[in-house]
Chain A
Amino acid sequence: MKSGEWAIAAAACLVGLLIALGWNASAATDPPRRPGTANVATPEEPDPNSELSRLRGEVQVLRAEKTRLENLASRNTDLSKELNESLQNTKLFAGLTEVEGPGVTLTLRDSKKPLEELPSVNDGIIHDADLIRVINELWNAGAEAITVNGKRAGPTTSYRCVGSVIVVDGARFAAPIVIRAIGDPQNLEGALNLPGGVLDEIRELDPDMVELALVDKHRFAAYDGPTKKSLARVPAEPDGDQDRS
């Protein structure tokens, strides 16, 4: 080896090493970021045939119910009791009664990671979009009642980001947001933990932002928002020209 050639050889070795490392770096793939979601990839059209047979079954049940009520009306003794039961069922569906049952508790909190470790400041914060997607996922998984920080979700409940807080039916909440749901706990947990699903995306940024627990018994207060409708009315006469959209 001529004088100094060992020096050039050493430098060339270093260059080779760097090239190999750079090659590896460009071969590494970035994990998908937030907007990608597995939920989009599972379109599920209801089967028209099974939907039709379900509706037919419901017609049968309603006709039988009508007959029973007519019979009761003719006797008038048990009518008020039956009406009350029917009313209670309707109120339960609308979230106007207290409810209790098993389910899950999900806590979403802002990331405590230093800002430098997050792709952007926004990613470390729980947004209304996260809340909306979690609640949508819960309803989809068969949740029967939901509260957000103790506030019961009713049929018209909305979730909005206003400044630094999330507004749920006029009440303001900052993180941590606690979402409780009544439903089959295993189903709810499975749906929330869907790979690539809503929680997965948040956990990818910071696992500490999400805390999910199964609960044997929840007890929720009733929906306390407004129930008055000013424009929607129940038609006096059912007709054939109903809005089917």
Chain B
Amino acid sequence: MSPWPLIALVVGVALGLFLGVPIPREWGPYLGVMILAGIDTVFGGFRGQMEGKFNPSIFFSGLLGNLALACGVTALGDRVGLNLALVVSVVFVMRIFTNLSLARRQLLTDWASRRDRARLEQEVARRAEESHE
């Protein structure tokens, strides 16, 4: 884990606050689903990295596709008078939690196996020393 994504997040917030573009209140639901889609994609990226199957082109196409789909569904909801932004939010939040839990599992398993390996190597080294003596 590197600190770069966190630094980039802080830079993004600072940039947004610095630009201070006024956003009409009606766009709130769109911004909300876009934020959730972005967070979901970032956590998905973490998970892919840990599982060793991260691919930048898949990552970016997923990001853009998720953003577009989230906005599209929200716009459709606006059109037909149904709060589809809420539905999209629920799905993304569920995915964020799933990705987080899988990433956590992977992280802990990796850590445990590294620890086991280190112990085994120590054991092997100790035995080798013993056999020398």
Contact with B along A1-35 (1 / 0, CB 8 A): 11111111111111111111111111010100000
Contacting residues, chain B, for A8 (C-beta < 8 A): 4-5, 42, 45-46, 49, 59
Query: B16 on the interface (CB 8 Å rule)?
Result: yes
Kindly state the separation between the CA atoms of A29 and B34 in the bound complex, as whole angstroms.
22
Contacting residues, chain B, for A12 (C-beta < 8 A): 5-6, 8-9, 12, 38, 42
Contacting residues, chain A, for B13 (C-beta < 8 A): 16-17, 19-20
Query: B22 on the interface (CB 8 Å rule)?
Result: yes
Q: Is the CB of A24 within 8 A of B6?
A: no
Determine the main DSSP class of B at the interface with A: helix
Shortest Cβ gap from A6 to chain B (Å): 7
Q: Is the CB of A25 within 8 A of B27?
A: yes
Determine the residue in chain B with the shortest Cβ distance to A15. B38
Contact with A along B10-26 (1 / 0, CB 8 A): 11111111011111110
Contacting residues, chain B, for A25 (C-beta < 8 A): 22-25, 27-28, 31
Kindly state the separation between the CA atoms of A13 and B2 in the bound complex, as whole angstroms.
15
Check A19/B12 contact, CB under 8 A, given A1-B2, A11-B38, A24-B23: yes
Contact with A along B42-76 (1 / 0, CB 8 A): 10011001000011100110010000000000000
Kindly state the separation between the CA atoms of A3 and B10 in the bound complex, as whole angstroms.
21
Q: Is the CB of A16 within 8 A of B4?
A: no
Contacting residues, chain A, for B56 (C-beta < 8 A): 3-4, 7
Check A21/B31 contact, CB under 8 A, given A4-B49, A8-B49, A11-B42: yes
Determine the residue in chain A with the shortest Cβ distance to B35. A18
The size of the chain A interface, using a CB distance under 8 A, is 28
Contacting residues, chain B, for A6 (C-beta < 8 A): 4
Query: B89 on the interface (CB 8 Å rule)?
Result: no
Kindly state the separation between the CA atoms of A11 and B49 in the bound complex, as whole angstroms.
14
Q: Is the CB of B25 within 8 A of A28?
A: yes
Contacting residues, chain A, for B15 (C-beta < 8 A): 13, 16-17, 20
Kindly state the separation between the CA atoms of A12 and B15 in the bound complex, as whole angstroms.
12
Determine the residue in chain A with the shortest Cβ distance to B57. A7
Kindly state the separation between the CA atoms of A16 and B35 in the bound complex, as whole angstroms.
8
Which one of B9, B11, B25, B34 contacts A30 once the chains associate, using CB atoms below 8 Å? B25
Which one of B9, B20, B35, B59 contacts A22 once the chains associate, using CB atoms below 8 Å? B35
Kindly state the separation between the CA atoms of A30 and B45 in the bound complex, as whole angstroms.
38
Contact with A along B85-121 (1 / 0, CB 8 A): 0000000000000000000000000000000000000
Kindly state the separation between the CA atoms of A21 and B22 in the bound complex, as whole angstroms.
8
16 A-B residue pairs with CB within 8 Å? A1-B2, A5-B2, A7-B45, A8-B46, A11-B41, A12-B6, A15-B35, A16-B9, A16-B12, A17-B16, A20-B13, A24-B17, A24-B21, A25-B22, A26-B25, A28-B24
Closest 9 CB pairs of A and B: A16-B12, A20-B16, A25-B23, A15-B38, A9-B8, A13-B12, A22-B31, A13-B8, A16-B13
